[in-house]
Structure 1
């Protein structure tokens, strides 16, 4: 019986090549889209889960009460790790690490500026990276040692054995290579090219050793003996910072390592989601696209019901049971799903390089893993059974006597179901069009919103090597200004788009001393406003004409917080030191472009900083040739700082990186939304084929009585426009709720206008008209004699 059903299925698929092609095309695109999205979801879901003890590993977050709310940050006191290990019984291991920064590592003539993380020896006990060379027990204990990743070792030494070789850090520290480990997984939140001991970090930054419970400057991780200790450990941890320093403003809590990447958004001290919401959208999109493809199969299968009815009648007349007929039709759909999966694989292999480039990751098909094949088989069977279920039960229900007498099939009930399915498809398609339009509107609004300074032709160069010397910086500044390739040169303790450097040390007359106000701060040089194009509302910039060591600039937000509309000339205190406000600047975006600016204080300092975060700012005049200006800047850097590569970035490029998630959401939604709309068109085509077949005699009679092709087109299209109109009515309020909730995550957001809904309505009608008219035109041109010759 199986072989017979298989032969019948293959014969039917071959006989009806056009329908088979449409079905295979729709299912292939649906399966390929679903698989790519599932690969991406699996990649994101696997973040930070490569380590043996990830389920028992927690990151310590720090709740800070300030500015009338609670801020949850990953910055913690350096003494917290040791304190937690000593005081909390359930802690097996504790470690603290620095944030990754780029430092120059050299061997002979090989110089590479790569990402480094400072960590103590417990770090590799919690995060069990595979050790390729060296004794893991000795790693990160010697202050003049380094642990390289495989890629870094290859870059520095090629085929040489790296163990016990001496490398040079930032042209100042000599380090011995003690080990080589595997590269950090791409889907790991901690990324580095080499590891350095925490003791070296303390040596380079003397303040680290004396930093107390009120200084938050590193990340802390705890490994519990098992999860049964979680509640007790979390309770003990909450009061630890206060016990260490009663004046500190922090409350620590545990956040699972496995949720670090996906659940990174906090409100009032509690996790409320994050990237997991984006993954939920993509998961829904994946299965909706697949479901739409299945619906198309149903529509196209039942559209051919009259042609298959005689086959069903004959098979029932000679003794076939309904069960065997259902089995046959389900076999056809599963066989079609298997064929579609083969083509889907081809589409995936073609599309993956593009999506990997788009996402900046390395998605790949794990052919050697049984889990992949299990999911694939289940997905194929699910697709085949869902797609074939309705046609199987519908076609197998025909009465053989009535069918063989040549009756007209009563299609009303099935037609109603198909209309419902097509409406559902278009509800989904219209919602997608609206959501995609709103995403692009929001992204363009934020990108084009004034940032408070002129980021065009503004270059940042890290303060490194000889550039840390004030004399070298002055030489660079003089040379650039004299050349005309720069109209302004200054420096800042942080990048224009960077985050960090904040505290509670700012006070002013009338301030409630019990109130904690978090203020960000930057240290800068002269000509900051001239170089960056910031808007000075009142007062002046830092100038060599004045003694500005005790002078500060503040932004509008800090002035409003102080309740002082005219703050210029006021004296406030910063960490107990009196400073005078000499200028008020307009708020500018320096952290998140989606949220309101934080209170900001800017001071002048002759010290550009030595922690690797300081940058030199260079403004290239608009009239200058950009390429020549950049080449001149590179040449000057090579002359003044020959040991380091010319490392420069345009601020607008850095600013673009802040929109990566939203751009990714928009691009993926655009692509897969387009696939969903295309597959919906195939569903509409299926219904058009069915209705044309059901009404071919009616159409022929109308043509005999004088109806024109235009009349026939209007007659057939009218019914479909009604369906699209109903789909729009359902989709509009649904889409409004979705985009409203999405936009509520942003302080700066667009107002929802009529435009996205109008675009969706017009596009859905045009798509429907085009799709249906392809079939309607063919029917309107058919010879009525062919349909009426047996009457």
Structure 2
């Protein structure tokens, strides 16, 4: 029986090539879209789950109340790990490490910038990295050793065995390679090229040796013996700051490693989501696109009902049961799904390089993974049975006597169901159009919102090696200005586009007792305001090369407002234990999130702390390429041992919009696919309706109706369906997009424009799709339809 049904299914597919191609194409695009989205969701979902005991591993977070809010971050004191290891119940390992940072590694003539981490032995035990060479029990004990990843070892030593060979760190420390580990997977929150002992960190930075509960400077990772200890361990973490430092009001808590990437947003000290919200949207999008493809299949299959009515009648007359007919139609559906899946694989493999480039990650299909094949089988079975269920039940319900006597198949109910399905498709399509339009409005609004400085032609150069010397920096500034390649030069203690240091150790006359205000802080050089293109609101800048300004500070507008200073210039401010004088007020400019209000910020002369970046404005009157070459040459003159690390500020600034751009772009692409599949469903309904009304149209033409009259008649019903879909979609889209916008302090207001756009686009698509078939029917010779009457 199966063999017979299979042959019949193949014959039907071949006999109705047009319908088969539309069905296969629609399902293939739906499956391919669904698969790409699911591959991306699976990639993000597997973040930080590579280690054996990832489910028992936690990141130590701290909650700190300031500015009337609770701030949460994974920065902790260097003494946290030992305290947790010794005094918290159920802890197997506790480790501290630095976050990955750029370090110069030299081997012979090779000088390579790397992502490096300083950590202790417990760090390796917690994440149980796969060791290719070396003894996992002996690494990180000797301060002058280093662990390399496989790819980084190949960069440094090629095919040679790197064990016991030496490298130079930052042109200072000679380190021996003690081990080589597998590369850290890209979907990991802690990615590095090399791992060095914490003892080496203490050797290089003397201040690290001091135990200070007020200095949050590293990452602390904890592994529990069993998760049964979690509740008690987390309760004991709450008072750890207070127990070790009088007056420290911060609270510590354990955040699961597996939620670190996906649940990174906190409000009032509680995790409220993060990347997981975007994954939910993509998961819903994948399901809806697949459902639309299945609905499209149903529409096209039932549209052929009259053509298959006699086949069903004959088969029932010779003894076929309804069960066997349902089996046959489901088999046809599964066969179509299988062919569509093969085509979908081809589309996915072609599309993945583009999406990898778009997402800046490496998505791939793991054909060797048994879970992938199980998931694919479930997806195929689900698609095949869902798409084939209604056609199988509907087609197998025909009564053989009525069909074989020549009575027309009653189609009212099937048409109604198809209309409902088409409305459902366009509800989703209209929602996507509205949401995508508002996402782009929000992105453009924030990108074009004034940020407080001019980032055009602004370049940052990382301070490395000898450049950190104040005399060398002054010399570099002088040479850059004399070269004419740049018009202005200044220094900053951090990357101007990234979050930097912050502190609550700021007090002033009039501050309320017990009030905690969190200030961002940064060191700035002379000509800072002119170079970055911001404004001096009041007072003056720091004096160039003046010892009198070592105890001076400057504030931004947000700090003045938060401190409630009526006369900010000249105000005495206690900062880092010293009394200082505010000499000026700088206009607010964006350093952290462009979606949030500018935080209070206090500035000090960069010479008192050290500069991390040289900021230059490229001379607009000179050729940019030659100016950059000149800048690179001058930097190399000052520090020839390091590769020049420079970047345009506007390019770095674009990273802030990465998530929103990703959401908008993927919504745009897959929304387009969903609309295309919906058009195929609409085309299926148009084919059916045109077939049903063929004789009516012919009679109308004989009686004098024009082609325009016929097109209006056929399009009118479909426009009604699309209009109904938009009416349903509007409140749904409004609720979804309003919820998304509520996460931003700066956001666009929801206007009628995106809704009008959805109406225009969906109606135009409907008219164009239906007219393709309608014109064909309207221009047909009436004799062909009426010659049997």
Q: TM-score, normalised by structure 2?
A: 0.99
**1:476 — aligned with what?**
476
Aligned residue for 2:254? 254
Give the C-alpha shift of residue 607 in structure 1. 4.7
Aligned to 1:740: 738
- Separation in 2 of the partners of 1:508 and 1:165? 55
Describe the SS at the equivalent of 2:191: coil
Q: CA separation in 2, counterparts of 1:10 and 1:763?
A: 38
- Pair 1:641-2:642 in alignment: no
Q: 2:663 aligns with which of 665, 670, 676?
A: 665
Q: Distance in 2 between matches of 1:535 and 1:760?
A: 43
What are the Cα deviations for residues 117-149 of structure 1, in whole angstroms up to 9, with x where unaligned? 111111001011101111111211111111111
For 2:525 and 2:172, how far apart are their aligned partners in 1?
A: 26
1:400 aligned residue = 400
Deviation readout 1:196-233 (Å, 9 max, x if unpaired): 11111112222211131121111111100010000000
Total equivalences in the alignment: 788
With 568-577 and 741-750 compared, the bigger mean Cα shift is at 568-577
Q: Deviations over 1:643-686 (max 9, x none)?
A: 11111011111111111111111111111111001000001101
Q: CA deviation at 1:621?
A: 2.5
Instruction: Report if the CA contact (8 A) 1:553-1:583 is conserved.
Output: yes
Equivalences for 1:272-311 in 2 at 5 Å? 272-311=272-311
Which stretch of the first structure deviates more once superposed, 199-208 or 24-33? 199-208
Shift of residue 190, structure 1, vs aligned partner: 0.3
Q: Could you tell me which residue of structure 2 aligns to residue 588 of structure 1?
A: 589
Q: Counterparts of 1:367-516 in structure 2 under 5 Å?
A: 367-516=367-516
CA drift of 1:545 comes to 7.5
Runs of 4+ in 1 over 3 A off after TM superposition: none
- Deviation per CA, 1:473-522, whole angstroms, max 9, x where unpaired? 12211111112111111111111012131111111111113111111100
Gap runs ≥5 in structure 1:
none
Which region of structure 1 is more displaced relative to structure 2, 570-579 or 170-179? Answer: 570-579
- Whether the aligned pair in 1 keeps the contact of 2:550 and 2:608 (CA below 8 Å) is no
Matched, 1:559 2:557: no
Q: Distance in 2 between matches of 1:544 and 1:615?
A: 18
In 2, distance between residues paired with 1:133 and 1:705?
Answer: 89
The Cα of 1:605 is off from its aligned counterpart by: 3.4
CA RMSD of aligned residues (A): 1.1
Q: Secondary structure at the match of 1:649?
A: strand
Instruction: For residue 427 of structure 2, give the secondary structure of its aligned residue in structure 1.
Output: helix
Identify the range of structure 1 (240-249 vs 758-767) with the bigger mean alpha-carbon deviation. Answer: 240-249
State the 1:787 CA deviation: 1.4
Q: Retained in 2: the 8 A contact 1:62–1:75?
A: yes
For 2:143 and 2:426, how far apart are their aligned partners in 1? 64
Shift of 1:565: 4.1
Partner residue of 1:628 out of 602, 626, 632:
626
d(CA) in 2 for partners of 1:158, 1:86: 43
Matched, 1:692 2:693: no
- Secondary structure of the residue that 2:82 maps to in structure 1? helix
Partner of 1:531: 531
Q: Which residue of 1 aligns with 2:134?
A: 134
Please, which runs of 5 or more residues in structure 2 have no aligned partner? none
Q: Render the CA deviation track for 1:733-759: whole Å, top value 9, x for unaligned.
A: 111111111011111111111111111
Post-superposition offset of 1:249: 2.8
* Distance (whole Å) between structure 1 residues aligned to residue 224 and residue 178 of structure 2: 28
Residue 208 (str. 1) matches residue 172 (str. 2)? no
**Paired residue for 1:6?**
6
Match of 2:192 in 1: 192
Indicate the SS of the match to 1:521: strand
Residue 41 (structure 2) pairs with residue 41 (structure 1) = yes
**Any idea what the Cα deviations from partners look like across 1:415-470, whole Å, max 9, x if unmatched?**
11111110010000000011111111111111111111111111111111111112
1:694-733 per-residue CA deviation (whole Å, 9 max, x = no partner) reads 1111111111111111100000000001011111111111
1:726 and 1:622 map into 2 onto residues whose CA distance is: 55
Q: Please point out which of 707, 714, 718 is paired with 2:705.
A: 707
Q: Is 2:12 aligned against 1:20?
A: no
Match of 1:179 in 2: 179
Partner of 2:593: helix, strand, or coil? coil
Q: Which moved more, 1:12-21 or 1:193-202?
A: 193-202
The answer to whether the 8 A contact 2:491-2:606 is kept is no
What's the counterpart of residue 69 of structure 1?
69
* 1: CA distance, partners of 2:276 / 2:327: 40
Query: Contact 2:500–2:522 (CA<8 Å) still a contact in 1?
Result: no
Distance 1:211 1:501 in 2: 19
With 525-534 and 231-240 compared, the bigger mean Cα shift is at 525-534
For residue 656 of structure 1, what is the aligned residue in structure 2?
A: 654
Residue deviations 1:106-127 (CA, integer Å, cap 9, x gap)? 0110110110011111100101
Say if 1:214 and 1:249, in contact at 8 Å, map to a contact too: no
Aligned partner of 1:722 in structure 2 is: 720
User: Which secondary structure does the structure 2 equivalent of 1:161 belong to?
Assistant: coil
TM normalised by structure 1 equals 0.98
Q: Which residue of 2 aligns with 1:237?
A: 237
- Alignment correspondent of 1:342: 342
Q: How far did residue 404 of structure 1 move?
A: 1.2
Q: Which residue of 2 aligns with 1:767?
A: 765
